[in-house]
Amino acid sequence: MKRRIIGCLLPALLCLLSGCNAIRLSYNNGPQLGWWWLDGYVDFAPEQAPVARAAIERWFEWHRATQLLPYADQLAAARAQVAEPLTPALACRWNERLREALDPALERALQDGADLLPGLREPQFRAIEKRYAKVIAEMRDDYLQDSTAARRRASVKRTVAWMERLYGSVDEAQRKLIAASVAASPFDPERWLAERQRMQRETVQTLRRLAAERADRDQRIAALRMLMQRAEQSPDLDYRAYRQRLVDFNCAFAAQLHNAISPAQRQHAREALQGWEDDLRALAAGPAPGDASRQRQDVPNNGN
Q: What tens digit of pLDDT does each residue of 75-111 get? A: 999 999 999 999 999 999 999 998 899 999 999 999 9
What does the alpha-carbon distance between residue 236 and residue 195 come to, in Å, rounded to a whole number? 9
Rg (alpha carbons) of the chain, rounded to whole number = 20
What does the alpha-carbon distance between residue 275 and residue 78 come to, in Å, rounded to a whole number? 13
- Position 287: which residue type? P
- Residue-wise pLDDT for 215-237, tens only, equals 999 999 999 999 999 999 999 99
Q: Quick check: 70 and 48 in contact, CB under 8 A? A: no
Residue 192 reports pLDDT greater than 60:
yes
Span 246-274, average pLDDT: 96
What does the alpha-carbon distance between residue 253 and residue 237 come to, in Å, rounded to a whole number? 24
pLDDT category of residue 186 using cuts at 50, 70 and 90: very high
DSSP state of 82: T
- Position 240: which residue type? R
Q: Quick check: 68 and 47 in contact, CB under 8 A? A: no
- Position 154: which residue type? A
- Residue-wise pLDDT for 106-116, tens only, equals 999 999 999 99
Span 283-288, average pLDDT: 80
Q: Quick check: 184 and 250 in contact, CB under 8 A? A: no
